[in-house]
């Protein structure tokens, strides 16, 4: 799954916002139908490498990927693992895209 979202903030501000958002994702009822737990997150410059555990009903699967912050865009690349069997890339992109757009605008 790949999502590109335009922003008009400084890179530092966007990175801080994304970092806080990952912390909030683990909270119950974070506005998404899948329960997420952050397993790891590591910033290397303006690129975040992450691993999440996604739980939906009885299914639990890892989600891995990157979030790259440029001067004008946030580019999210994620492998949804087995979750892709139940949620299409389009649905996942819409779900995560809405969340990130809300944070950036």
More confident residue, 21 or 46: 46
Q: Which domain holds residue 73?
A: 2-104
CATH of the domain at 45: 3.30.310
Residue 42's contacts (CB-CB under 8 Å, 6 or more residues apart) are 48, 49, 50
Q: What is the structure's pLDDT at 96? A: 74
Q: Report the predicted TM-score, pTM, of the whole model to 2 decimal places.
A: 0.83
Q: Is the pLDDT of residue 73 over 90?
A: yes
Total count of domains within the chain: 1
Distance CA 14, CA 95 (A): 19
């Amino acid at each position: 799954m790949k999502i590109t979202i335009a922003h008009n903030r400084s890179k530092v501000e966007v990175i801080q916002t994304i970092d806080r958002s990952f912390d909030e994702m683990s909270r119950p009822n974070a506005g998404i139908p899948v329960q997420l737990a952050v397993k790891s997150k590591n910033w290397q410059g303006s690129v975040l490498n992450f691993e999440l555990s996604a739980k939906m009903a009885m299914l639990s699967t890892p989600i891995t990927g990157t979030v790259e912050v440029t001067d004008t865009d946030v580019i999210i690349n994620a492998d949804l693992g087995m979750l892709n069997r139940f949620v299409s890339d389009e649905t996942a992109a819409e779900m995560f895209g809405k969340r990130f757009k809300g944070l950036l605008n």
